């Protein structure tokens, strides 16, 4: 399509993007799970200028101009699609807690890339699904959240010289995700700075074996989730920066529940039913979430009444 001028569709488009939990223990920067907790974002091409409205998570905190992450991702995608629109109006209804380890930044990036594509005539010919994944992963810096956000389900992502690739696998019955979300935030960039440049070969070998076992446990045999979620690459190094998270992971695992730090934390993810009466303490919001099997979904039109409600339906706390 290079050389053919970019033209834009008229009217708004909207996208529903899921929260995601990356790493899942031993799958650092590779494995991820899409969860049924969503942001809804709509966008429209306008006359010159950028407006952004935010309801729910991040309202009053996030920038309302070109610095907003959805708009930054849209700008990068419009460049890849061949040209920028005159102006943009973006409406965000956010339910994914931000800077907690639930993939909020990837959800914003995926939303921006898919909205930009949907606003360009013949957008899917200019940027196919594989290209959208590569671009979103490049903006995020690693593919383990953007992959499940785009594809849904349990994803394995990896990076080749040309960019990120991913596959989505079905999740076995019996996997029961619960997230424990604290009030305090933790930026991924800070958690990544806590990691060493190198790790002992024995730890790398140990973790590679558990990551392979985790693919089997999550897709076929959840009875193996406890041994399959042991990691030696990141959680211990990050524990001093999130002691409450580390203590809750330990308490859950001591109760035979496969629990890990969700993404870069500080949220905790359990993958199995909790024991009767398990009490995490008052510092946590506890939500049982289904797996999102669809991934990001784009439709035409404005956000509807239900999509404008920033409180997630069916969330158990």
Ligand X SMILES: N[C@@H](CCO)C(=O)O
Ligand Y SMILES: Nc1ncnc2c1ncn2[C@@H]1O[C@H](COP(=O)(O)OP(=O)(O)OP(=O)(O)O)[C@@H](O)[C@H]1O
Q: Name residues contacting ligand X, limited to 149-188 (CB under 6 A).
A: 188
Bridge partner list, 92: 41, 54
104 annotated ligand binder: yes
Name which of residues 185 to 204 contact ligand Y (CB under 6 A).
Answer: 187-188
Cβ proximity to ligand Y, 168 vs 267, nearer residue = 267
134 contact choice in ligand Y, ligand X, none (CB below 5 to 8 Å, kind-dependent): none
CB atoms within 10 A of CB 29: 18
Is 106 flagged in the annotation as binding?
yes
> To the nearest whole angstrom, how small is the minimum distance from the Cβ of residue 260 to ligand Y?
12
234 in contact with ligand Y (CB under 6 A): no
59 is annotated as contributing to ligand binding: no
Taking CB under 6 A as the binding criterion, the range among 95-103, 126-134, 154-162, 220-228 that sits at the site for ligand Y is 95-103
Residue 21 Cβ vs ligand X, minimum distance, rounded to whole Å: 9
CA 221/CA 206 separation, integer angstroms: 20
| CB 27 to ligand Y: min, Å | 13
Q: Which residues contact 266 (CB under 8 A, 6 or more apart)?
A: 100, 101, 182, 184, 185, 186, 242, 244, 245
Rounded Cα distance, 28 and 48, in Å: 42
DSSP summary character for residue 119: T
Q: Is 227 annotated as a binding residue?
A: no
Candidates 100, 126, 134, 176: give the one binding ligand Y (CB under 6 A).
Answer: 100
Pattern 134-153, ligand Y, x by CB under 6 A: -----------x--------
> How many Cα atoms occupy the beta-carbon half-sphere of 287 within 13 Å?
21
- Decide if 54 contacts 92 (C-beta within 8 A): yes
191 is an interface residue for ligand X by CB under 6 A: yes
Residues in 15-74 that interact with ligand X by CB under 6 A: 22-23, 28-29
Residues 6+ apart with CB under 8 A from 28: 144, 207, 231, 233, 234
- Contact status: 104 vs ligand Y (CB under 6 A): yes
Q: Is residue 245 within the footprint of ligand Y (CB under 6 A)?
A: no
- CB neighbours of residue 10 within 10 Å: 8
Phi, then psi, of 284 in degrees rounded to 5:
-125, 140
- What Cα–Cα distance (Å) separates residue 297 from each residue in 85, 131, 137, 216? 22, 17, 18, 28
Q: Among residues 8, 46, 62, 174, which is the contact residue for ligand Y, using CB under 6 A?
A: 62
Please give the Cα distance from 292 to 314 (Å, whole number): 14
- Out of 34, 264, 271, 303, name the contact with ligand X by CB under 6 A: 264
**Cross-strand pairs, 94:** 56
- The residues in 228-247 that bind ligand X, with binding defined as CB under 6 A, are 234
DSSP string, 139-160: HHSSSTTHHHHHH-SEEEEEEE
- Residue span binding ligand X (CB under 6 A) among the ranges 51-59, 123-131, 138-146, 163-171: 138-146
Please give the residue ranges that form the binding site for ligand Y (CB under 6 A).
22, 39, 58, 62, 68-70, 92, 94, 98-106, 108, 145, 187-188, 263-264
Binding residues for ATP: 97-107
Please give the residue ranges that form the binding site for ligand X (CB under 6 A).
22-23, 28-29, 142, 144-145, 188, 191-192, 234, 263-264
């Amino acid at each position: 399509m290079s050389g053919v001028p970019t033209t834009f569709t008229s009217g708004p488009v909207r996208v529903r993007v899921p929260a995601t939990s990356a790493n899942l223990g031993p799958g650092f920067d590779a494995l991820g799970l899409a969860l049924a907790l969503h942001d809804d974002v709509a966008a429209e091409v306008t006359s010159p200028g950028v407006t952004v409205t935010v309801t729910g998570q991040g309202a009053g905190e996030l920038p309302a101009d070109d610095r907003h992450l959805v708009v930054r991702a849209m700008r990068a995608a419009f460049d890849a699609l061949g040209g920028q629109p005159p102006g943009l109006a973006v409406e965000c209804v956010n339910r994914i807690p931000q800077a907690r380890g639930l993939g909020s930044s990837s959800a914003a990036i995926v939303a921006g890339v898919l909205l930009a594509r949907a606003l360009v005539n013949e957008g899917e010919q200019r940027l196919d699904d594989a290209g959208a994944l590569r671009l979103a992963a490049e903006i995020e810096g690693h593919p383990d959240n953007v992959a499940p956000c785009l594809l849904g389900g349990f994803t394995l992502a990896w990076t080749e010289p040309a960019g990120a690739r991913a596959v989505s696998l079905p999740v076995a019955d019996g996997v029961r995700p619960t997230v424990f979300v604290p009030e305090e935030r933790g930026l991924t960039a800070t958690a990544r700075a806590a990691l060493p440049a190198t790790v002992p070969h024995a730890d790398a070998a140990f973790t590679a074996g558990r990551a392979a076992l985790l693919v089997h446990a999550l897709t076929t045999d959840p009875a193996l989730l406890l041994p399959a979620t042991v990691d030696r690459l990141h959680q211990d190094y990050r524990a001093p920066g999130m002691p409450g998270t580390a203590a809750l992971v330990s308490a859950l695992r001591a109760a035979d529940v496969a629990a890990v730090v969700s993404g870069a934390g500080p949220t905790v993810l359990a993958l199995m039913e909790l024991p009767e009466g398990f009490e995490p303490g008052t510092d946590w919001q506890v939500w049982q979430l289904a797996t999102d099997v669809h991934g990001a979904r784009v439709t035409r039109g404005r956000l509807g009444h239900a999509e404008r409600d920033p409180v997630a339906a069916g969330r158990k706390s």
